[in-house]
Amino acid sequence: MIDSATSTISYSAHSAARHEKLSPAKEAEKARIEARLSVLEKKIEKEKTTGLDPAEEDQKKRLQARDSEVRAHEMSHLAAAGGLASGGMRLTYQTGPDGRQYAVGGSVKIDTSKAGTPEETIQKAQQIRAAALAPSDPSSQDLQVAAWASQMEAEARNELATQKRSDPEATDSRQALVYLDNATPDSD
C-alpha cells in the first residue's frame, strides 16, 4: 500500500495585488469598463445558448411573428371556405437564421366555378366572398377575389331575374306551395 501525502499551498490575494487609490475620474472609467464588460459577458452567454447574435435573434422573432400571422390568415380562409376549399393551405417558407423554416406567404385554393342553378351560384358566390374576406387583414388578392365573387353573384341574380320574367309561372317551389295552400276550392 502506498501512502501519498498532499501538500496544500495557499496564496494570499492581498499579497499579490497592490491597492492603489484611484482618482474619481479613474474610478468612473473603471466603473464604465466593468459595466461594459458585464454587458458583453451577458451577450456572449446569450449567443452561446442560442447561437445567434442580436440581429439574427431579431430576425428570428420577426419571422416567428410573420409565421403566426400567415398561418392564422390562411386558416381563416380555409374555415370560411368550407367544402369549397380544394385541399389545405399551401405555405411558402423562408429559412431563418436558426435554420428553421418559417411561413412567409400562403394560399388556399377555392372552387370558383358556377353552380348548377342561379340560386346555387348566388349562395356559392356569397361563400366565396366570405372566405376571401375572412381574415382581419385581407390582402389585395383577397379583395380581388371578393370583388369577383360579387360580380359572379350579380350575374347569377340577373340570370334568375331574366328566368322569372320570361316564365312568371316558374317561380320557386316555395311560392307555388304557398299559392296552393291559400287556394280555396270553387263551391257550386
Domain regions of the chain by residue span? 54-166
Taking every pair of C-alpha atoms in the chain, what is the biggest distance, in angstroms? 136
pLDDT digits (tens, 9 = 90+) for 108-143: 999 999 999 999 999 999 999 999 999 999 999 999
Whether the pLDDT of residue 16 is over 70: the answer is no
pLDDT digits (tens, 9 = 90+) for 158-177: 999 998 888 766 555 444 44
pTM of whole model > 0.75? no
pLDDT digits (tens, 9 = 90+) for 42-87: 777 766 666 788 899 899 999 999 999 999 999 999 999 999 999 8
